[in-house]
């Protein structure tokens, strides 16, 4: 569960987060990462407290229990729309990255082919997703180690000076973005926690997973800024990919960006499958379908269409991402907090929805 949670948190943040944070916090981005993960631990505490109160029920189920069918359904729809938005954006991120860097194949074809593979895994259930992640996450760890070792000769700590040159305001603004990237989408794990082998261990797994994410994101972001500088990182669309292209080992090993891309794809696949599973299962429970697999293909088709309609280019995506925190804040913070508060007041715990 630790590996699944950690890999589910990372996703496309390995490629996009350094640019977002460096554009706001400049050379103090490392401080934003540390503070952001402390906030992330607070969110983990909230989510696991809620999951612990209903150990065998997922988010949609206890929304209906705590708030009743009318209001609970409204909150559940809001949650599912947010997950749909996240899934569509992530799918488009993949297609754009592949088209820009590797192939002239239309992104529509790449999107559909990737989704076919994801639906196949989704039909296999959560066990298949977890086992697939057991194969992918070691790739993330090994790739991070190799890329870091290759990039060490290019590092320059001068890129992190002067400290707090522009005061605390850029740091706080960067902290706001880092709170929702990647933690906003992690609320989807509330649909997965009850199906862990030992639900009582969810908090421990989530805490260790969050700390592992801190280490990985810190290494990637700090390494990227060390190579490109804060300004170069902020200007790059895929800064980690660009930094890896500049790395040369002994004059014979060049273009290590392939390692970066393998690591990103390994992490991206898990995050996307978690979002797709949460959306499909939640929709099935909300409309009363016994087996979520019946909705796997229709939901996947909607996500594909949503990815085509999400934005026209990566620059438009980065601009629109500034509105994402306001869309996601009620879902990953306000609604779970209200749910936990109302459940405590009403004395609800571990009951089945009607």
Q: How many CA atoms lie within 13 A of 172 on its CB side?
A: 4
Q: What is the pLDDT of residue 354?
A: 42
Residue of 8, 16, 71 lying closest to 324 (CA atoms): 16
Spatial distance between the Cα atoms of 217 and 203, rounded to a whole number of angstroms? 21
Spatial distance between the Cα atoms of 153 and 251, rounded to a whole number of angstroms? 12
Q: What is the pLDDT of residue 321?
A: 67
Residue of 59, 54, 86, 82 lying closest to 72 (CA atoms): 59
Q: What single string gives the DSSP state of each residue in 2-21?
A: HHHHHHHHHTTHHHHHHHHH
Q: What is the pLDDT of residue 353?
A: 43
Among 37-46, 135-144, 296-305, the range of highest mean pLDDT: 296-305
Spatial distance between the Cα atoms of 60 and 38, rounded to a whole number of angstroms? 27
Q: Beta partners for 249?
A: 253
Q: Phi-psi region for residue 254, left (φ > 0), alpha (ψ -120 to 50) or beta? A: beta
The band of 138, judged by pLDDT with boundaries at 50, 70 and 90, is: confident
The band of 339, judged by pLDDT with boundaries at 50, 70 and 90, is: very high
Spatial distance between the Cα atoms of 282 and 8, rounded to a whole number of angstroms? 18
Domain 2-346, CATH 3.30.70.1230 — does that match? no
Residue of 158, 169, 191 lying closest to 4 (CA atoms): 191
The band of 338, judged by pLDDT with boundaries at 50, 70 and 90, is: very high
Spatial distance between the Cα atoms of 201 and 196, rounded to a whole number of angstroms? 8
Residue of 229, 264, 261 lying closest to 101 (CA atoms): 261
pLDDT, one tens digit per residue, over 210-259 is 888 888 888 888 888 887 888 888 887 777 777 777 766 655 566 666 77
Q: What is the mean pLDDT of residues 167-192?
A: 83
| Token representation of residue 125 | 């259930």
Q: What is the pLDDT of residue 352?
A: 46
Spatial distance between the Cα atoms of 75 and 81, rounded to a whole number of angstroms? 10
pLDDT, one tens digit per residue, over 91-109 is 888 887 777 776 677 878 8
| Token representation of residue 314 | 């990566």
Q: Phi first, then psi: give them for residue 67, nearest 5 degrees.
A: -100, -5
Strand residue runs (E) in 168-257: 248-249, 253-254
Burial of 33 (0-12, 13-18, 19+ CB in 10 A): buried
Percent of the chain having pLDDT more than 90?
23
Domain range summary for the chain, segments of one domain joined by +: 2-346
242-263 in b/e burial notation, b at 16+ Cβ within 10 A?
bbbbebeeeeeeeebbebbbbb
Among 11-20, 162-171, 204-213, the range of highest mean pLDDT: 204-213
pLDDT at 71 over 70: yes
pLDDT, one tens digit per residue, over 267-276 is 888 889 999 9
Q: What is the pLDDT of residue 277?
A: 95
């Amino acid at each position: 569960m630790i590996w699944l949670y950690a890999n589910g948190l990372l996703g496309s943040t390995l490629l996009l987060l350094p640019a977002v944070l460096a554009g706001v916090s400049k050379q103090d981005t490392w401080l934003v990462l540390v503070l952001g993960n402390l906030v992330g631990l607070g969110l983990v505490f909230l989510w696991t407290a809620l999951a612990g109160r209903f150990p065998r029920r997922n988010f949609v189920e206890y929304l209906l229990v705590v708030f009743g069918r009318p209001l609970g359904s409204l909150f559940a729809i809001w949650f599912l729309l947010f997950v749909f938005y996240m899934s569509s954006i992530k799918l488009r991120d993949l297609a754009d990255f592949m088209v820009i860097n590797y192939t002239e194949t239309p992104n529509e074809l790449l999107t559909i082919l990737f989704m076919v593979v994801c639906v196949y895994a989704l039909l296999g259930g959560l066990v298949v997703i977890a086992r697939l992640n057991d194969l992918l996450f070691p790739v993330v760890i090994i790739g991070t180690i190799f890329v870091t070792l290759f990039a060490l000769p290019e590092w320059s700590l001068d890129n992190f000076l002067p400290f707090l040159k522009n005061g605390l305001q850029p740091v706080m603004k960067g902290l706001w973005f880092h709170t929702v990237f990647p933690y906003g989408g992690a609320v989807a794990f509330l649909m997965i926690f009850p199906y862990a082998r030992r639900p009582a261990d969810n908090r421990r797994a989530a805490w260790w997973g969050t700390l592992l994410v801190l280490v990985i994101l810190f290494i990637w972001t700090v390494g990227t800024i060390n190579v490109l500088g804060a300004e170069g990182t902020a200007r790059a669309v895929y800064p980690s990919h660009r930094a890896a292209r500049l790395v040369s080992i002994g004059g014979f090993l060049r273009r290590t960006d392939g390692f970066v891309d393998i690591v990103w794809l390994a992490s991206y696949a898990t995050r996307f499958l978690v979002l797709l599973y949460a959306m499909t299962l939640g929709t099935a429970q909300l409309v009363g379908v016994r087996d979520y697999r019946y909705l796997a293909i229709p939901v996947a088709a909607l996500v594909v269409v949503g990815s085509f309609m999400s934005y026209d280019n990566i620059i438009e995506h980065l601009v629109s991402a500034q509105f994402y925190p306001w869309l996601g804040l009620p879902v990953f913070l306000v609604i779970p907090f209200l749910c936990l508060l109302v459940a405590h007041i009403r004395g609800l715990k571990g009951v089945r929805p009607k």
